[in-house]
A and B are shown apart, each in its own frame.
Chain A
Amino acid sequence: MSSAVDATGNPIPTSAVLTASAKHIGLRCMPENVAFLKCKKNDPNPEKCLDKGRDVTRCVLGLLQDLHQKCQKEMDDYVGCMYYYTNEFDLCRKEQEAFEKVCPLK
């Protein structure tokens, strides 16, 4: 299963897709991530942090959709390379550079 999108064209958050967009997620969804982790540190009960978890999921899935719309081919290439090399950054430098040229990290 190496296609990054499901039937409606949204990117599926598989490990290859998530690792490929990890730098973007770390930059643009940082507030939601930090809030969720703080909530978890306070109380590990899953029921208490459900709303923050939904914030995180919404942010990340929206970000993936945004990236996929802006630079579809480069993202597909990068995700395919990640899938082939099981999420090794060092073996996919070419695709990473192409991806970050079209969808910059800002």
Chain B
Amino acid sequence: MTEAMIRKKPGMASVKDMPVLQDGPPPGGFAPVRYARRISNTGPSAMAIFLTVSGAFAWGMYQVGQGNKIRRALKEEKYAARRAILPILQAEEDERFVSEWKKYLDYEADVMKDVPGWKVGENVYNSGRWMPPATGELRPDVW
């Protein structure tokens, strides 16, 4: 009812004759809109891009190699230092072990002195090689 009272046309017979209220273009139409693609063909060629990327990759790999060389030199320095001080550390440990082993053999002789036919010390393996003692009794602080 309200629409008819707003949009009425003088002399209309029913609501179906009301003038049409539409959203439309301004008079003269809209300005033209460009929708065509404009992708330029200038810039570096495929070969140029490929060569640049390959060059960057090759330079990067070269730097990786150089860095590895430096890191290897550092590691070699560390290992050479370890190799140099290994003998003195082993020699000191040998001295300590020999005195501990003597004490252990004496203790074994003392414990087994009444057992007939017991060869004190060294009843370990039959291969002939020297094996370090395996029970962990000699280093209770470690084990």
Which A residues contact B (CB, under 8 angstroms)?
13, 18-19, 22-23, 25-26, 29, 32-33, 36-37, 40, 43-47, 49-50, 52-54, 56-57, 60, 87, 89-90
Contacts and interface: CB of A to CB of B under 8 A. Distances in A.
A19 B91 contact: no
A89 B81 contact: yes
Given A36-B91, A53-B94, A60-B88, A26 B80 contact: yes
B98 A47 contact: yes
Given A36-B91, A46-B97, A53-B95, A23 B81 contact: yes
Interface in B82-132: 82-95, 97-98, 101, 129-130
B87 to A, nearest CB: 4
A90 B92 CA distance: 28
Nearest to B93: A46
Contacts of A52: 91
B87 A22 contact: no
A7 to B, nearest CB: 19
B94 A49 contact: yes
B97 A22 contact: no
B77 interface: yes
Nearest to B91: A53
A50 B95 contact: yes
CB-based closest 5 A-B pairs: A53-B91, A26-B84, A22-B81, A45-B130, A46-B94
B78 interface: yes
A100 to B, nearest CB: 13
Contact of A53 (B81, B90, B101): B90
A50 B90 CA distance: 10
B15 interface: no
B88 A18 contact: yes
Contact of A36 (B83, B85, B90): B90
